[in-house]
Amino acid sequence: MAEERAATSRAGVVRRVLLSRAVIELGAMSILAIIYNTVRAGGGDDDRAEAMAHARDIANLEGVVFRHLELSLDHWIITVPVLAVAACYFYALMHYVMTPTILVLSRRRGGWRYWRGYWALVVGSAIALVIYANWPLAPPRLMPELGTIDVMQHFAAAGWWGDAASAPRGLGDATNQFAAMPSLHFGWSLWCGIQMWGFGRRRWRIAAVAYPTLQALVVLATANHFLLDVVGGAACILLGYAVVTLVGRALGKTGRPAERGTVVATPGHVTADVAARTVVDAVDRLQPSPATR
């Protein structure tokens, strides 16, 4: 009997661990990472013609915006080596540093904002992977016929990247160069911005605006993405938030404020409106009623 109880107890512990939120979240992110790397490693010469045709279509669709904004940024930054190298490092590094950092900081805060942010990142990235797998697009840096300059290749000696954007030298063949739409460099930076805005403090909100803004400028100036790629990355992440919000409301997890009249406690203080109502009610009780005057 004792052995059976011990075995049942161990099985219960294993079940609780496997079904714990942390394990589910880690599992979902691991599966997404495997699929991401598989898709990113796909493509190649077979997709080249189609990807370049799509790039020409995007450039034609953008028209004057591409010619006067994106090309101008690209041609200008190449003349300022300090800024160009900084932009290359920003592109190659921040994407992989900021996203997990903000994810960890969000998890430490917990609650609905984290739950929503985590699954929005998963859903938005999954949408992007479907597009990568089905609609190859060459980045403008691989389209010199459009007048673009590959800034990262030009300054490759200043960093670890080669002619495959942020991929280390020698690993360019292991990445899909034709997965430019949508831009998850911008999409993930927008996700970071939304999460940082939710942290509340002024410095976080400044960073929430600055980081995606800089990322958008960097991906355009280095010719790693078209402006429409940036819009596509934003759309994927915002759609992810929308889907998760709808699911959260259906499950009652949105963390909506309590009904009017309910005391809402926060760590160390009571919200100002509840405190004000409490004072008013106390004053009313102290005043004599008309019958006793």
| Predicted pLDDT of residue 13 | 54
Residue 139 lies in domain: 61-251
Q: State the Cα–Cα distance between residues 183 and 168, nearest whole angstrom.
A: 19
At 254-292, the pLDDT tens digits run 765 433 333 344 444 434 444 445 434 543 454 455 444
Share of residues in the chain with pLDDT > 70 (%): 69
Residue 102 lies in a domain: yes
The residues that bridge with 269 in the sheet, in sequence order, are: 266
Q: Which two tokens stand for residue 210?
A: 């600055």
**Does some domain include residue 20?**
no
- The mean-pLDDT minimum among 67-81, 84-98, 252-266 falls in 252-266
What's this model's pTM, rounded to 2 decimal places?
0.76
180 found inside a domain: yes
Q: 267 in a domain, yes or no?
A: no
157 within some domain: yes
In a domain, 42, yes or no: no
Q: How many residues does the chain have?
A: 293
* pLDDT (mean) for 61-89: 96
For the chain, what is the domain count?
1
Count of alpha carbons within 13 Å of 126, Cβ hemisphere only? 15
Q: How many CB atoms lie within 10 A of CB 102?
A: 25
DSSP assignment string, 215-265? HHHHHHHTTSS-HHHHHHHHHHHHHHHHHHHHHHHHHT-S-PPPPTT---E
Residue at 31 is within a domain: no
Q: DSSP code of 145? A: G
pLDDT band at 37 (very low <50, low <70, confident <90, very high): low
Largest CA distance in the chain: 93
What six digits make up the tokens of 128? 């992007």
236 Cβ partners below 8 Å, 6+ apart? 124, 125, 127, 128, 131, 182, 184, 187
Distance CA 257, CA 238 (A): 23
Q: Is 233 a member of any domain?
A: yes
User: What one-character DSSP code corresponds to residue 289?
Assistant: P
**Distance, CA of 256 to CA of 244 (rounded, Å):** 15
- Over residues 40-70, the pLDDT tens digits come to 555 556 688 999 999 999 999 999 999 999 9
